[in-house]
Amino acid sequence: MNDQAACVVVTKARVKKGQLECVVELFEKTNPPLVKDEPDWLEAVFTVDAESNAVTVLAYWRCAESYAAFSQSAEFQKAMGQFMPHLREPPAVSVNAIEVGMTKDRIWRGKP
């Protein structure tokens, strides 16, 4: 977790059977160019639950307002549209404030 992050955007999606690898590859292809010029985007983690055919993405941002603006962009909408044929339903997205952060070396409340 990046200690500059004030929020984490949690995106959960249920993937159609046999489509997990396609979704992973699509994320690898679309995400880097999408966020490379976003100054408040810090990092993301893409997780797979193969047992339930689901993915969860945790994206760390310096502020929720930057994500809100980014998520309305045409580029973002186009990229997200590429995922839809592989998903069982639209993804669930929540923007969560980070209240407590922790690394091996320290723990902090809110944005450090």
Q: Could you tell me how many residues make up the chain?
A: 112
> What's the mean pLDDT when you consider all of the chain?
94
Could you tell me which residue, 3 or 94, shows the higher pLDDT?
Answer: 94
Percentage with pLDDT > 90 across the chain: 84
Domain locations along the chain: 7-109
Asked if 84 and 75 count as a contact pair (C-beta separation under 8 A), the reply is: no
Digit-coded pLDDT (tens) for 35-61: 999 999 999 999 999 999 999 999 999
User: What is the CATH number that goes with domain 7-109?
Assistant: 3.30.70.100
The strand ranges marked E within 1-112 are 7-14, 41-49, 54-61, 92-97, 100-102, 107-109
